[in-house]
Structure 1
C-alpha cells in the first residue's frame, strides 16, 4: 500500500508540474503578443508611396507646389554636331620660297589684320631674284630702243626684215621675263617698283592674308623652311556656324529657316539660337546622316571652331499638359510625380503625443505618369489616372521626397 501511495503522489506531482509549465508558456505568449501590438502602435503606418513631411522639413528643402497646366510646347529633334568655319574664314600661311626664319612677330591667340607681318625670312635667293629683275629691266630698256630703231628702218624699207624680226622676238621675250620676275617679287611680299628704282631688300615678310586670330604657329627663329610649308594658321571666328548631323528617320522633319537651339559642354548654362540656311544633298555613309548648317543668331566671342554641340531642332508646336522638368522623378525605370493629399492624420487624434505631432504633417502621394517631349524647362506629362482640378504637384523638392520614400521602405524592411 505504501508503494502504491508513493507512486500516486509522484504521478500527481508530475501532472501538476506539466500543467503549470503550459500555463506559464501560454501567459508569456499572450504577453509578448500584447507588447508587439503596443510597439507597432507607436509607429506611423503610411500607405505605400505616401510620404509625409513636417512644415519645418518643407521649409528647409524649399519645397514648392505647382499645378498641371496646358502649354504650347516646342517639339524638338535631338541632334549633335560641332562649330565650323567656312573655307574662306580660315587660312594657312606659307612662304612661296624657302628660307631661314629671322623673326616671329606673333603668338597664338593674337588678333591680326590683313597684311600684318607675322614673320620675316632671309635667303641669298631673295637677293639673286632682285638682282635678276634689275638686270632684266636694264636689258629690256636697251632692247626696247633697238626694237623701235629697227622697226623704223624696216618701215622705211632701209633695214632688213630678218633683222627686225630677230630684235622684235628678243624684245618681247625679255619683256615677258621682266613681267614674270615682277610677279614673283610681289608674291613673296617685295615691292617690284621700289626694287626697279634701286632699293634692295635683305629679307622677306610673311603677312596675314585676312583679319582674324592666330590659331597656330609652327616655326622657330633660325629654322629653315621649305617652300609652301605651313607656318601659321589664321581663323575668323566671327563667322562661325553650327554644323549638325540629322539621321535618316528625321530628315522629313527638317527644312530651311527652322530654328535650332544648342548648348556646348564648355559653356554650361548657356543656350544659343540658330537658323538652318543649308541642307546637304548627300548622305554621309557612316553613320548615315545628312549635314545641316545653321547660322548663329548672336555669335559670342567665346565660341570656338571645333567645339562639340548638342542641339534641339524645333520641328513642331503642340498644346499639351506640362510640368516643370524637376517635378518628375525616375524610380525603377518608371516616372512619377508627387501630389499633395488631403490626409491630415485625423485618424491618429486619439493616440499619444507622438501621434498628435503627426497631425501637423503634410502628405504627398507618389503617382505614376508617362512623360513626353521636353522644351524650355517643361516636360509633357500624360496621366494614367485623372487628378482633381486643383491638384497640387511638388515642383522643387520632388527628389527629396523620393529619397524619403526609399528610406522609409528600407526601415520598414528591417
Structure 2
C-alpha cells in the first residue's frame, strides 16, 4: 500500500513539472506572435483617438470632398432660381456685309480678343471692283465739282443759259451721292475709303471684332464660301455676366435692390458666390406668377458660362451664422460630429509606421488623416445646417463635406477591432 502511494505522488509531480514548462514556453511563443499579429498592427494604426486614415484609393472610391465653413443667413432667407445670362451689349454675332471665300482665320475658340482686332480675312473679286469704282467716282466727282463751280459763275453773270447749269448741277449731285454711298459701304466693310482714294488697294476684306470678349464659336473654315449674313464668329464678354432670377409673388414685398444674395452655380454648394441684386423687373409673368430680377456676381467670372443653372438665397435679415452642408455633419450616439483633415507631414507618416524616411514621405501623400470633432448644430435650410464649434479650429481648416458617414463607419470599425 505504501508503495502504491509513493508511485502516485511521483506521477503527480512529473505532471506538474511538465505543465509548468509548457506554460512558460507558451507565453514565450505567444509573446513573439503578438509582435506580428494583424490585430497588433490594427491597434497601432488606430492608436490616434478620434482619428481615421484613408488612402487615396479609398478617398476616390467614396468621392470624398473637402470644403470650409460659410457665413450664411439660415433664418430669414428667400430661395430663388434662375440662370446666368449676358446683357445684349456683351454678346456679338460677327458676319460679313459681302460674300467671298475665307482665306485666313486668325483666332481660336476661347481666345480673348479686343474690339477692332482682326479675326479673319475674306477674298473676292467684287471687293477689288468696289475699290476701283470708288476711285472712278472720286475722279468724276472732282471733274463735275469744277464744272459745277464754273457753270454757276457763268449763270450768275448771265453769260450761260440756265439749262447747262441745271444739267451740270444734276450730274454733280448724283455723282456726289454715289461717291458717299460707296464710301459708306467700305466703312461698313471696315476699310478706309480715303486710303483707297489715295491709291491703296486692299487685297482681302477684314473681319473685325466689334466688342471685347472671348471667342465662343467659330463657324468657318479656310476656303469656305460665305454669303452676306453668314454667322462667322460669336463673341461673349463675361465681365458683366449676371444671374437672371425668378422671385415669386409671395416674396416680392421682401425684395429690394442692393440686397445681398448667395448664389450656388450649377449646384456647386462647396463654392458659393456672393452677389447683389441690381435690378428688379417691372413686368409680371402670369404663367409662372413671378417677376424676374438681375443679380451681379462678385469676384472672378471666368469659370462661368451663360446658361448655367443658379440657385440663390437672398438675405432679408442680417442674421448670418456659421454653417456647413448637411452632408458634413454625422450623428453618433446622440452627438454631432464633423471631420477635419489633419495637416500632412511627419505626423501622418508616423501613423503609418514606415521604416524609411522616403517611405514616410510617400505615405503622407497617399494617406490622409481625418480627426473627428464634436459640434453643436442649429437650424437647417436648403441643404445647409448651422454649426457651433466646441473648440477653436484654424481658419484654414478643411472640412469633409461629402463622405463623412464613411469616415464614421471606418472609425467605428477600427474601434471595434481595437477593443478585441
Calculate the TM-score normalised by the size of structure 1. 0.63
Q: Select the residue among 377, 382, 386 that pairs with 1:378.
A: 386
CA displacement 1:182-227 (0-9 Å, x = unmatched): 1111111222111101222221010101111111000111111110
Q: Counterpart of 2:316 in 1: which secondary structure?
A: strand
Contact kept in structure 2, 1:101 and 1:222, CA below 8 Å: yes
How far has the Cα of 1:175 moved from its partner? 0.7
The whole-number CA distance in structure 2 between the counterparts of 1:165 and 1:287 is 67
Residue 220 (1) aligns with residue 228 (2): no
| 1:338 match | 334
| 1:104 match | 105
What do you get for the CA RMSD once the two structures are aligned? 3.6
| 1:164 match | 165
Taking the TM superposition and a 5 Å limit, the aligned residue runs for 1:125-136 are: 125-136=126-137
| 2:82 match | 81
Contact kept in structure 2, 1:337 and 1:398, CA below 8 Å: no
The whole-number CA distance in structure 1 between the counterparts of 2:407 and 2:305 is 42
Q: Select the residue among 50, 64, 87 that pairs with 1:59.
A: 50
| 1:189 match | 190
Contact kept in structure 2, 1:263 and 1:270, CA below 8 Å: yes
The whole-number CA distance in structure 2 between the counterparts of 1:249 and 1:337 is 41
Q: Tell which structure's C-alpha radius of gyration is larger.
A: 1
Unaligned segments of structure 1, at least 5 residues: 1-54, 63-70, 331-335, 341-368, 381-394, 408-414
The whole-number CA distance in structure 2 between the counterparts of 1:377 and 1:157 is 98
Q: Counterpart of 1:227 in 2: which secondary structure?
A: coil
Q: Is the alpha carbon distance of 1:138 and 1:337 closer, same or farther for their aligned partners in structure 2, counting shifts above 3 Å?
A: farther
Contact kept in structure 2, 1:325 and 1:379, CA below 8 Å: no
Taking the TM superposition and a 5 Å limit, the aligned residue runs for 1:295-310 are: 295-310=296-311
How far has the Cα of 1:297 moved from its partner? 2.3
The whole-number CA distance in structure 2 between the counterparts of 1:320 and 1:128 is 71
The whole-number CA distance in structure 1 between the counterparts of 2:311 and 2:95 is 35
Equivalent pairs counted in the alignment come to 296
How far has the Cα of 1:305 moved from its partner? 2.1
Q: Is the alpha carbon distance of 1:284 and 1:157 closer, same or farther for their aligned partners in structure 2, counting shifts above 3 Å?
A: same
How far has the Cα of 1:281 moved from its partner? 1.3
Q: Is the alpha carbon distance of 1:224 and 1:399 closer, same or farther for their aligned partners in structure 2, counting shifts above 3 Å?
A: closer
The whole-number CA distance in structure 1 between the counterparts of 2:296 and 2:179 is 47
Contact kept in structure 2, 1:373 and 1:379, CA below 8 Å: no
* Structure 1: 4+ residue segments shifted above 6 A: 55-58, 319-324, 326-330, 395-398, 400-404
| 1:32 match | none
How far has the Cα of 1:267 moved from its partner? 5.3
Contact kept in structure 1, 2:52 and 2:407, CA below 8 Å: no
Q: Is the alpha carbon distance of 1:339 and 1:109 closer, same or farther for their aligned partners in structure 2, counting shifts above 3 Å?
A: closer
How far has the Cα of 1:273 moved from its partner? 0.6
Taking the TM superposition and a 5 Å limit, the aligned residue runs for 1:9-408 are: 59-60=50-51, 74-265=75-266, 269-317=270-318, 325=326, 338-339=334-335, 373=381, 377-378=385-386
The whole-number CA distance in structure 2 between the counterparts of 1:211 and 1:77 is 36
How far has the Cα of 1:249 moved from its partner? 2.4
| 1:384 match | none
The whole-number CA distance in structure 1 between the counterparts of 2:406 and 2:117 is 60
The whole-number CA distance in structure 2 between the counterparts of 1:213 and 1:117 is 13
| 2:391 match | none
The whole-number CA distance in structure 1 between the counterparts of 2:73 and 2:314 is 16
| 2:28 match | none
Q: Is the alpha carbon distance of 1:115 and 1:323 closer, same or farther for their aligned partners in structure 2, counting shifts above 3 Å?
A: closer
